[in-house]
Amino acid sequence: MKVKQKYVLYLYEADFLKRYKRFFVDFLFREMELTAHCPNTGSMISCFDSNSKILFDVILNKQRKLPFSLEFTSMNKDWIMVNTFRSNQIVKYYLLNTPEFFWEKNIIYDSFFSEKKIDNFKPDFLLFSEKNQDFIKAYNLNNLNVNKIYKKKLFIKSKPILLEIKNVTFFREPYFIFPDAQTKRGSKHIQELIKFLELKFNSVLLFLISRNSDYKNHFFMPNYELDKRFSYYLEKFHHQGGKILVAPLKIEILSFEESEINKEIYKKNQFLKSLLNLNENEILKNLRKVVITFGKELPIFFENITKSK
């Protein structure tokens, strides 16, 4: 399906120097050494080397200690989205603007919540049909901050769907692998999704492959070597009827056109000019337009460790 509306970001390119203490990245921007916050708690293995570039954002919030936030790194010819919070923003954008992408994969909804707690579990998204009033009343979902899809209303009582998002950056030929560090939290999320399968919900795990790689003849697999617990529960989720989608992101890094300057970009440029004593042209040379869409779904490789239990 061709996506007409696209998720767009405007970010600044710089040279990667080092990552340290997990949450800090030093980089070189217009020959000045700066530090950005790194919004990724994983190992970020296969995400950078000594020749890497980065894309960073400027956060105009006076309460932040660091005004810069790491968004992408590069390795070889790949750009890699390492900001794990960005994944949910992208999915939310397409849930609202291109529901057909999800409907084609039998994820049927016309309304959804973001991070709405339900029975002590807070999934990334709770998708449902407005026609399913029994579900809405049972979980007291009336008059809440709901996102509604106005393009098309459903005429069926589709089952409510719990949708959990995972950002995949680790690559080892020919596999994209998750997680890149042990994740007790990730295992717990899958156990919660299995519980809701038993309560007659549909549960979906969406793995976003956040690299603009050549996806031909590649697969996704859980990290059996590093996190057998997560791998076991992912297989169990699959065998009990949970839906797993592996969606590669198509990431285009384009030159910035001055005609695209808006109020937000102008404010960020002015901040950089003031902080770093740069002129407008110097800043614009490093500004990039990032366009993100979904690619073709990838197959999954399982070792079937659940059968040996």
152 compared with 184, residue with greater pLDDT = 184
> Residues 232, 194: contact at Cβ < 8 Å?
no
Amino acid letter for position 237: F
pLDDT of 6 over the 80 cut: yes
pLDDT of res. 164: 98
The SS3 assignment for 139 reads coil
pLDDT of 94 over the 70 cut: yes
Give me the percent of the chain exceeding a pLDDT of 70.
94
pLDDT digits (tens, 9 = 90+) for 163-181: 999 999 999 999 999 999 9
DSSP assignment of 12-75 equals EEEEEEEEETTTEEEEEETTEEEEEE----S--TTS--TT-EEEEEE---TT-S-SEEEEEEEE
**Which of these ranges, 119-128, 148-157, 210-219, has the smallest mean pLDDT?**
148-157
d(CA 130, CA 92): 18
Give me the percent of the chain exceeding a pLDDT of 90.
74
DSSP assignment of 113-128 equals EES--BTTB--SEEEE
pLDDT of 33 over the 90 cut: yes
Bridge-partner residues for 176, per DSSP? 171, 220
Least Cα distance to 296 among 237, 191, 236, 213 occurs for 213
pLDDT of res. 246: 97
Mean pLDDT of 79-88: 97
The model's confidence at residue 49, banded by pLDDT at 50, 70 and 90, is: very high
pLDDT of res. 110: 87
pLDDT digits (tens, 9 = 90+) for 50-79: 999 999 999 999 889 999 999 999 998 899
pLDDT of res. 211: 95
The model's confidence at residue 278, banded by pLDDT at 50, 70 and 90, is: very high
The model's confidence at residue 144, banded by pLDDT at 50, 70 and 90, is: low
How much is the pTM?
A: 0.93
What is the C-alpha R_g of the chain?
A: 21
pLDDT of res. 78: 93
100 compared with 291, residue with greater pLDDT = 291
Least Cα distance to 227 among 235, 219, 216 occurs for 235
pLDDT of 27 over the 70 cut: yes
d(CA 176, CA 212): 12
pLDDT of 2 over the 60 cut: no
Walk me through the domains of the chain, giving residue ranges and CATH numbers: 7-77+252-291 (2.40.50.580), 84-250+295-308 (3.40.1350.60)
pLDDT of res. 149: 78
136 compared with 40, residue with greater pLDDT = 40
pLDDT of res. 225: 96
pLDDT of 17 over the 90 cut: yes
In the sheet where 219-222 sits, what is the strand order?
170-172, 175-178, 219-222
Mean pLDDT of 272-289: 95
